[in-house]
Copies of this chain bind each other. A is one copy, B any other.
Amino acid sequence: MKARVAIDVMLKGGILDPQGKTVEENLPSLGFEGVSGVRVGKHIELEIDAPSREDAVARIEEMSKRLLSNPVIEDFTYRLET
């Protein structure tokens, strides 16, 4: 089966996010009020060709842990569209 996959990698909750903080601090000077809690991470899209959905999920979790994120400071989530 082939699936399109979207993976989001974000810094864990307790970890300071300087990029998000910079965006948040610059919004008011551009006229955007009422925005808080800005966090900036990575969004990865890919296509996977695997024997089964279970196999695809296992590969996505493994590659997210080993290549796409740093598990010490980052969390990841993913969605499969078959």
Contact = CB atoms under 8 A, between A and B. Distances in A.
Nearest to A67: B30
A50 B36 CA distance: 12
Interface of A: 6, 8-10, 20, 23-24, 26-27, 30, 32, 34-50, 59, 62-63, 66-68
B49 A34 contact: yes
A27 to B, nearest CB: 7
A23 B39 contact: no
Contact of A48 (B6, B35, B45, B59): B35
A59 B9 CA distance: 25
A38 B49 contact: no
A43 B43 contact: yes
